Amino acid sequence: MTSTNARVTHRSGFQPRSASICVRHGACADLFAISCTMALLFVMLIASGCDDTSFEPLQVSDIVINAPLPGTRMSAGYLTLTNNSDESLRISTFDSPQFKSIELHETITAGGVSRMRPVPELDVPPHSSVQLAPGGKHLMLMGPVAPLDVVTLNIYSGNGLLVSISTEAVAY
């Protein structure tokens, strides 16, 4: 048999969770009929094919969560969102156990005056990135309710939780 047969088995509904389950599957039994070198290559092929759980549709990088200035209860957060999937991702909500609420804002400067306005949703096109950075879109973190040595940030689309990240808040 060939690796092609194994792939067809997987597509027809068998959802391996790990490489070890994968190589134990009946369709892989003929593995031992081929040479040692080929067997090793084959196992590596299957193992990589079974490793789908590591795929993150939404990747978060360049994370900066500022701690509120002393005497204030509000701060800003910045990050880069990368959509690794083939479909546009619509980010609708952010929350954190360490903050009462989190809003997505945009800073707009007109006539030398900067102000912020809420942004209800954020679209990240397929295979591209959107940056939340000072002077533009940012997270407004309001009402800290717990120590900020570890801040967990959950990012949701309308369908549910997309990704959860943890970082340390930085003091100004």
Gyration radius of the chain over CA positions: 23
Output 108 or 170, the one with its CB closest to Cu ion: 108
Least distance (Å) from Cu ion to the CB of residue 140?
A: 4
Least distance (Å) from Cu ion to the CB of residue 102?
A: 10
Output 83 or 98, the one with its CB closest to Cu ion: 98
> Which residues are CB-neighbours of 172 under 8 A, at least 6 positions away?
66, 67, 69
Output 40 or 74, the one with its CB closest to Cu ion: 74
Task: Report how far residue 148's alpha carbon sits from residue 54's, in angstroms, rounded to the nearest whole number.
Answer: 28
Least distance (Å) from Cu ion to the CB of residue 141?
A: 9
Residue 87 is classified by DSSP as S
Neighbours of 93 (CB within 10 A): 16
Least distance (Å) from Cu ion to the CB of residue 142?
A: 9
Output 19 or 63, the one with its CB closest to Cu ion: 63
Check: CB of residue 103 under 8 Å from CB of residue 137.
Answer: no
Binding to Cu ion (CB under 5 A): which residues in 99-158? 105, 116, 140
Least distance (Å) from Cu ion to the CB of residue 105?
A: 3
Task: Report how far residue 24's alpha carbon sits from residue 169's, in angstroms, rounded to the nearest whole number.
Answer: 45
Residue 113 is which amino acid? V
C-alpha dist (Å) from residue 75 to 29, 49, 69, 121, 141: 58, 43, 7, 20, 5
Output 19 or 116, the one with its CB closest to Cu ion: 116
Interface positions with Cu ion (CB under 5 A): 105, 116, 140
